[in-house]
Amino acid sequence: MSAEPHTESIPILTIDGPSGSGKGTISRAVAQRLGWHYLDSGALYRAIGVAAGWADADLSDHSALMRLAFGTRIEFQTHGEGEPRVIVDGIDATDELRTETAGAAASAIAAIPEVRAALFEKQRAFLQPPGLVADGRDMGTVIFPEARYKVFLTASAVERAERRYKQLKDKGLEVRMADLLREIQARDARDAQRAVAPLKPAPDAITMDTTAVPIDAVVNRVLALLPVQSSL
Ligand code: DC
């Protein structure tokens, strides 16, 4: 995909927030309703985490990880409303990307400035007409600060752990709530405290708490922020 020039007029909606805040589901639904492109930036960090595992790379070797971030081919294949398949260097890694191991590797890798810099252009390249919904942690603050529409989603840590518990249970995996809650709290702390692009709302973002709010209601609240389609 080629980004810029002439991208100034393309509308951007950024949806940032911690894991389990409903970002992915809500961003995908909103992108679908608008007919806009969708960037799952977390999947890029997860893909580098998975590629690092395949290459047996040391997570403390920043230059090796930077090379992986530049060199790994990451493609998204969309099929209808479902989660897009993620192809990493030609291999369908969608299921591996969703594991706790990949999430933990992504969170560690995401704290490395060289990796974030390497992924900058890859993310900007998603800015294509007719519009973009960008989902992540720093979409409204660092990658698309010029976005016209910015949302920051939150939910209590307990609710987020419960959502994750249900997802894993549905996949037939045995997990303990207490472990999930502890992992979520540790990941939140790491994502919020890192020196580079920490998880925080952009000053011009609208914060929405999704605790106990059904997905459809959040989708409608987000869509209500945008002017009617014809005037976008
Ligand atoms: O949204 P997710 O759970 O798929 O993200 C995985 C990790 O990647 C998360 O711990 C933080 C990191 N990440 C990031 O630092 N910046 C982004 N824009 C997206 C994800």
| 119-143 residue pLDDT tens | 999 999 999 999 999 999 999 999 9
Query: In the structure, what pLDDT confidence band is assigned to residue 29 with cuts at 50, 70 and 90?
Result: very high
* pLDDT value at residue 229: 58
| pLDDT of res. 230 | 47
Taking only the tens place, the pLDDT of each residue in 88-99 is 999 999 999 988
Beta bridge partners of 76: 86
Q: Please tell me the residue having the least CA distance from ligand 1 atom 12.
A: 107
Cβ–Cβ < 8 Å for 45, 109: yes
Cα of 224 vs centre of ligand 1, distance in Å, is 26
Q: Quick one: average pLDDT of 7-28?
A: 93
Give the binding-site residues of ligand 1, using a 6 Å CB cut-off: 19, 41-42, 45-46, 103, 106-107, 110, 136-138, 187, 191
> Nearest Cα to 26, choosing from 212, 138, 168, 153?
153
The overall pTM is greater than 0.75: yes
Cα gap 45→108, rounded to integer Å: 9
Rounded to an integer, the average pLDDT of 159-179 is 90
Mean pLDDT, the chain, integer: 91
Kindly state the helix (H) or strand (E) to which residue 38 belongs, with its residue range.
strand 37-40
Which H or E run includes 39? Answer: strand 37-40
Are the C-beta atoms of 110 and 194 separated by less than 8 Å? yes
Instruction: For the chain, list the domains and their CATH numbers.
Output: 11-223 (3.40.50.300)
Q: What percent of the chain has pLDDT over 70?
A: 95
